[in-house]
Structure 1
Amino acid sequence: MTHLRIGILLALFGGAALLAFGLSWLWDARGSTLPAVPGPAPAVLALIAFALLAVALSLRARLRAQRERRPGARGVDPMLAARAVIFGHASALVSALAAGAYGGSGLFLALTYWEVANRRDQAVYAGLAVLAGAAVCAAALYLQHVCRLPGDGDDSQGPLSSPA
């Protein structure tokens, strides 16, 4: 599996934002009412970010205890770490797309309908969803960093390496 790169996440975000902005503009130009940005979207993305961060911190603590050979330290199952990284990778990719879509539509709403209270609220929800999507990406990148293996880009020993 390849490493998750910030450039890929930014490209997905930017492409989705441009597409959402353009589609919002076309939708509005046709005289149709734009779909609403769901209010719970930021909370759901923030919950995913929290879950990823909790897993990363838990794995980090267990790996540190294993590396320091503390008595009673529980080891980390490599399959558990791999599943966590895959979950983080997928979550980051999807959240970059979702945050881009919310960002593009929120930007359109902010530029064209800021005076309308309901649409201003939609733009604020979209902005919060962008921030929560960025938090998911940051937590996924941190989880990937915690679970790196030796030889994954540097010559130093990674956290999942066995102690010498």
Structure 2
Amino acid sequence: MKQLRIGVLVGLFLGAGVLSWAGARLWDSVGTLPSVPLAAPVVLALIAVVLGATALSLRSRLLAQRERQPGAKGVDPLVAARAVVFGQASALVAALVAGVYGGVGLFLVLAELDVPARRDQAIYAGASVVA
């Protein structure tokens, strides 16, 4: 397995952002743009917390195993391999999701922030990108 490069993630983020911005612009010209759900940033933040906790747990177990601490619980190689694959997949999906919400949020910011509903949608999209 090759190391995931930051350029790939930035490219996915920018590509998804451009496509979602163009799609939001087209969709808005034809009809009503679907709203960004209020639960989106909450769910994405919850997923990020679970992934972070899993990574910290695995990291501490690997560190204890490397330092040969007495009573250290080892890490099965298959579990470590699965964690690497899961981490890379999570990074790719996070770049895509952040790009999509970023593109929609950019469209909403550039369109009309006078309308309270659009302003709220832009805030939800921005919070989703951060999460």
TM-score category by the smaller chain?
over 0.9
What TM-score, normalized by structure 1, do the two folds share? 0.76
The C-alpha deviation readout for 1:97-148, integer Å capped at 9, x for no partner, is 111111111111111121111111110110011111xxxxxxxxxxxxxxxx
1:6 paired residue number: 6
**Alignment of structure 1 residues 8-157 onto 2, 5 Å:** 8-30=8-30, 32-132=31-131
RMSD of the alignment, in Å?
Answer: 1.1
5+ residue gaps in structure 2?
Answer: none
Shift of 1:71: 1.1
Q: Give 1:52's aligned amino acid.
A: L
CA distance in 2 between partners of 1:84 and 1:47 (Å): 18
More helix by share: 2
> What is the CA deviation profile of residues 19-41 of structure 1, one whole-angstrom value per residue up to 9, with x for unaligned ones?
111111111222x0000011111
Count of matched residue pairs:
131
Q: Give the number of the structure with larger relative contact order, counting CA–CA contacts within 8 Å between residues 6 or more apart.
A: 2
Provide structure 1 residue ranges, at least 5 long, that are not aligned to the other structure.
Answer: 133-164
**C-alpha distance in 2, partners of 1:108/1:14?**
14
Task: Provide runs of 4+ in structure 1 moved above 6 Å.
Answer: none
Which residue identity lines up with residue 72 of structure 2 in the other structure? A
How many percent of aligned residue pairs carry the same amino acid? 63
